[in-house]
Amino acid sequence: MKEIRQNISAIDLFCGIGGLSFGLMQAGIDVKAGIDIDETCKYIYEKNCNSTFVHQSILDVKGLELNKIFNDNDIKVLAGCAPCQPFSSYTYKADKPDDNRWQLLYEFSRLISETNPDIVTMENVPTLLKFKKAPVFIDFVENLKAQGYIVWFKIVYAPDYGIPQNRKRLVLLASKFGNIELLPATHAPGNYLTVRDTIGHLEKIKSGEQSKTDIIHRSSKLSKKNLERIKQSKPGGSWKKDWDERLKLKCHVSDKGKTYGSVYGRMKWDEPSPTMTTFCTGIGNGRFGHPDQDRAISLREAALFQSFPSNYQFVANAEDFKFQNLTKHIGNAVPPKLAKVIGDSIVKHLKDMGYGKK
């Protein structure tokens, strides 16, 4: 006879400021705790996620500790997004397959073995699938299968799920109960959310200025020359064609630099934004210029592109405001809308299998 278990609870490894936890919570999953090594995430996480922030390195976490957080009769979900910088094509070295940067994903795998959750979900960068000489993702999947999980994974395009940025992410779901997969896409190119849909209503601000009513609607201060550059930039254009020669950087006109045509560029109003990164509030790091205001996007705009709701609390008070910290936290986050889709997919799967709340 099938054991009756209704409550679904989760622990979020590498939780950051709670994008994944918040989305799971919205899907009706009881997030018991988030664990992260960066204590500056604590206020934002606990303020928004109705959960406990555990300041600890994943390397030091033991499965026994996690099982004490879970309730014995709950359906247990272990979730996480290991920091993606080690898996970036910029940092990956094919001749160093044993690089200890892979360790965090192996630690995630270890904790799965030690806690034996019913469901596992992971979100990460698509390049994780490409690393043949350091097959950390293959090892992760094989370890799941060896423990009896049925595994599904796919590269997901964020605009397909109502997220207004050109973001591709690798999403994995694994279940002890049976076949599991992400819910079907909710949007198509004809109704993708755009930059205009997302930030068109916001108060106009200048370079380095802060809104009078919103502490995180604030942009970085541009130098005199960068202000000239953004004024000459056209939405969707490039410094190659738009700028006077005197404004072009030596590094960008080199053979290698010519491939970075989107840096210092402006977004287009009627398309999704570029992928948000940990440097998304600086125009020198990508196409992060506002479509028509002469500045980089603000922290609020970056948060909205990441699908954080407008009432998500990022700062306790003005004294705690740290611009670069927030840029990093927002850029690193799992988009809450994508996290809710993951959570909804888990809930539907469990209902189909006869578990979870009726």
Tens of pLDDT, residue by residue over 44-58, are 999 999 999 999 999
Cβ 108 vs Cβ 140: under 8 Å:
yes
- Assign 131 a pLDDT band (cuts: 50, 70, 90): low
Please write the tens of the pLDDT for every residue from 114-129: 999 999 999 998 888 8
How far is residue 240's CA from residue 146's CA, in Å, rounded to a whole number?
52
**Cα gap 113→333, rounded to integer Å:** 26
100-104, 159-163, 174-178, 191-195: least confidently modelled range:
100-104
CB neighbour list of residue 147: distance below 8 Å, 6 or more residues apart: 112, 113, 116
Euclidean distance between CA atoms 63 and 113, whole angstroms: 8
142 Cβ neighbours under 8 A, 6+ residues apart: none
Give residue 214's region: left, alpha or beta (phi > 0; psi -120 to 50). beta
Q: Which residues contact 166 (CB under 8 A, 6 or more apart)?
A: 157, 158, 159, 271, 272, 273, 274, 275
pLDDT at residue 239 in the model: 82
Domains of the chain: 8-188+334-352 (3.40.50.150), 191-332 (3.90.120.10)
Give the confidence band of 241 by pLDDT, cuts at 50, 70, 90.
Answer: confident
Q: What is the pLDDT of residue 244?
A: 82
- Give tens-digit pLDDT for 249-290: 776 665 555 555 578 999 999 999 999 999 999 998 899 999
Q: Is the dihedral of CA 276, 280, 284, 287 positive or negative?
A: positive
Catalytic, out of 49, 84, 251, 280: 84
84 is catalytic: yes
For the chain, percent of residues with pLDDT exceeding 70: 88
Closest CA to 214 of 227, 224, 205, 223: 205
The b/e string for 27-45 (b: 16+ C-beta within 10 A; e otherwise) is bebbbbbbbbebebbbbbb
Tell me the H-state helices in 37-157. Answer: 42-49, 63-69, 103-115, 136-146
Q: Report DSSP state, residue 295.
A: S
